[in-house]
Amino acid sequence: MYIIGKEEADAVKRVIESKQLFRYRGGEGGESDTFEKEWSEKIGVKYAIAVTSGTAALILGLVGMGIGPGDEVIVPAYTYMATPLAALAVGAVPIIVEVDDSLTIDPRDVERKITPRTKVIIPVHMVGLPSNMDAIMDIASRHNLKVLEDSCQADGGAYGGKRLGSIGHAGAFSFNHFKIITCGEGGAMVTNDREIYERALIFHDGGASFRDHASQLTTPFFAGWNFRINEILSAILRVQLTRLDGMLDAMLTEKRVMIDALSSVPNLTFNPIHDVEGDCGTTVALKFDSEPTMRRFISGCREAGVRADTPMDSGRHIYTNWDPILNQRGAHNPAFDAYALAGVPVEYSKDMCQNTLDVLSHTAYLYTDPTREREDLDAMIAKVKAVAAEL
């Protein structure tokens, strides 16, 4: 969470005093409908569905695309486990591919791992860094595949002048406590495809056939779940949305200052960025020649009072720690297990994406702060320079 304050509290109070906390049955045209309209306009798409989490948004995207048992979904080896879990939730098998030095999905490995069963590629814009969407969309076009952008860590980012999430056939966002904008827990799926939208809308609301918009849908109703957002969360998100561009500008400005100041420092090399202008600016990634050097850098930064981490230590975001996936326990009941339904054996191992492990174990992160004063930023940069000089 970056910025939250009185405006969000006032929005919550407004909803509570209205006594209309549910988005339907009296809530139509309220906070949730309005947020979806505002979010779709911000991202530059026709349709948006606000939901309970980024995971739910990913599931909606796959359901909208008609993905199910026997299908394969390509996911990167560096992402939160929700990405492959979404594939399993619809009965599909996640196929894990490498990331490259950009810390995003490696298009070359994507192409190597396409099979006749592949239906979707999920590029993940990790820590706000845009994936190579030109390459991904080209591969998808040539192989007749769908693209679902996992923009859960990249709310508001862009690639090639388009907002992330609007480039693929659908996009998923998270508004979790740790994301760029937040309501504690929430998400949104976006698309320009009417069929994807209608299928996702039906699936996200088991009562979709009872809603005012039911008569506008041409997709036959099927059994859905309940991923509905509520009016309180949507009211918070509407305020957060007004903060988004300002936060992105502030973070990207800080990142540019940091890169400019550190680019001439010996021993420091930056990981490549596919779109410098579209980067969310949350994180400065530095690549070192070895893991011991990277860890000395991190240790030195921490001793100097500078926050520094390595993605190698973020266990939940690395495929080697995805126990349910690596052990192919795809559901609570074997009858629903995507691996059993696939009909084709899938092989996983902890060393299957060695390049990803190499990249992560050589990378350190520094972080921006949209509320930081320039003198504090300059002081932080001076400390980082001093640490780098001792490597």
Average confidence (pLDDT) per 10 residues, the chain, 391 residues? 94 98 96 98 98 98 98 98 98 98 98 98 98 98 98 98 98 97 98 98 97 96 97 98 98 97 94 97 98 98 98 95 97 95 94 98 98 97 96 90
**pLDDT score of 315:** 87
Q: Is residue 19 part of a domain?
A: yes
Could you report the per-residue pLDDT of 332-390, keeping only the tens digit for each? 999 999 999 998 999 999 999 999 999 999 999 999 999 999 999 999 999 999 999 99
- The verdict on residue 356 lying in a domain is no
Q: Are strands 363-367 and 308-309 parallel, antiparallel or unpaired?
A: antiparallel
User: Interhelix angle for 54-64 vs 194-204, to 10°?
Assistant: 130
Q: What's the domain range around 80?
A: 6-240
Does pTM top 0.85 for this prediction?
yes
Q: Is residue 76 part of a domain?
A: yes
DSSP assigned state of 105? B
- Burial class, 117, CB count within 10 angstroms (exposed 0-12 / middle 13-18 / buried 19+): middle
Residue 372 counted as domain residue: no
Please tell me the predicted confidence (pLDDT) of residue 31: 98
The maximal CA–CA distance of the chain, rounded, in angstroms, is: 68
Backbone angles phi, psi at 259, to 5 degrees: -65, -45
What's the rounded Cα separation, in Å, for the pair 278 and 158?
4
Structural domain total, the chain: 1
Spatial separation of the C-alpha atoms in residues 302 and 109, rounded to whole Å: 35
Contact predicate 50/236, CB 8 Å: no
Strands 72-76 vs 118-121: parallel, antiparallel or unpaired = parallel
| Domain at 214, CATH number | 3.40.640.10
Q: Which two tokens stand for residue 81?
A: 């486990």
Does residue 248 lie within any of the structural domains? no
Of 191, 229, 362, residue with least CA distance to 287: 362
Residue 212 lies in a domain: yes
